[in-house]
Amino acid sequence: MKLHDFKALTFDCYGTLIDWETGMFEALKPLTSKVKRSLLRDDVLEAHARHESAQQSFTPAMKYSELLAVVCKRLAEEWGVAASFEECQTYGGSVKNWPAFPDSVEALSYLKKNFKLVILSNVDNASFAHSSKRLQVDFDAVYTAQDVGSYKPSDRNFDYMVTNLQNLGIAKSQILHTAESLFHDHSPANRHGLASCWIYRRHDQKGFGATMNPGVTPQYSFRFNSMAELVAAHRREIRG
């Protein structure tokens, strides 16, 4: 199996192209600064993952910015600090400030010349519009949780993506799902028979950070520690 065997790269955005862990950690500082005990970065990220995943399960049709506001409220309760509704709403709108990884823009610019580029993300459309500007590439299709009415790892999101890509002339066998999260992306990709590429952004850190532990490690077809490594591998392939 080679990277150039595929016609489309379908991306998770947050954690893969956008550095959501840095974004959420920085945006939560007004809340975490109120906590009397010491919270490590991964303490914050892992608590966020628990509440986000639970809320997505309970309210799958809730807009992501609104869902993040609820997550902020749950975190405040867990940590025993006060958070006003306005503060929680501010956190819900923080996606627009989450930075791209340093290699994302250049990598996407290169890959656009060789693949169809598609987003499958647990986000709302307005929030993604800000991230899309940061990534500086025109995606060929964008499928959000708001479009589908559910959040990954729900099979509905992958069914929606595969069906719509077939309408664009892209078969399942031509899709390489490219993502960091084993929980949100690679496990359901396995269930759908999709080839996948693990961008292991947390390769030098312990644990799963802002994503849930997937339990059993899913299979994947390729693994790179960055988008830059993926591009380098593709360049080696086409050079022969």
Q: What DSSP string runs through 173-190?
A: GGEEEEES-IIIIIHHHH
pLDDT for the residue 208: 95
For 78-111, write each residue's pLDDT tens digit: 999 999 999 999 999 999 999 999 999 999 999 9
- Domains present along the chain, CATH in parentheses: 3-19+100-239 (3.40.50.1000), 21-97 (1.10.150.750)
What lies within 8 Å, CB to CB, of 234 at 6+ separation is 3, 4, 110, 111, 114
Residue with tokens 């990220």: 45
pLDDT for the residue 239: 87
pLDDT for the residue 8: 98
Strand partners, 144: 121
Whole-angstrom distance, CA of residue 44 vs CA of residue 99: 18
pLDDT for the residue 153: 97
For 143-199, write each residue's pLDDT tens digit: 999 999 999 999 999 999 999 999 999 999 999 999 999 999 999 999 999 999 999
pLDDT for the residue 109: 98
For 20-79, write each residue's pLDDT tens digit: 999 999 999 999 999 998 999 999 999 999 999 999 999 999 999 999 999 999 999 999
**pLDDT mean over 224-228:** 98
Check residue 123 and report its DSSP letter: S
Can you give the pTM of this predicted structure?
Answer: 0.95
Q: Which residues carry out catalysis?
A: 12
Q: Which amino acid is at 24?
A: M
Residue with tokens 């250049």: 106
Rounding to the nearest 10 degrees, give the CA dihedral for residues 223, 229, 233, 239: 180
Whole-angstrom distance, CA of residue 139 vs CA of residue 112: 8
Whole-angstrom distance, CA of residue 196 vs CA of residue 187: 10
Sequence-ordered alpha helix ranges (H) in the chain: 20-27, 29-32, 41-58, 64-79, 85-92, 104-112, 125-135, 145-148, 155-167, 187-191, 227-239
Q: Is the pLDDT of residue 240 over 80?
A: no
Q: Which amino acid is at 16?
A: T
* Count of beta carbons in the 10 Å neighbourhood of residue 227: 25
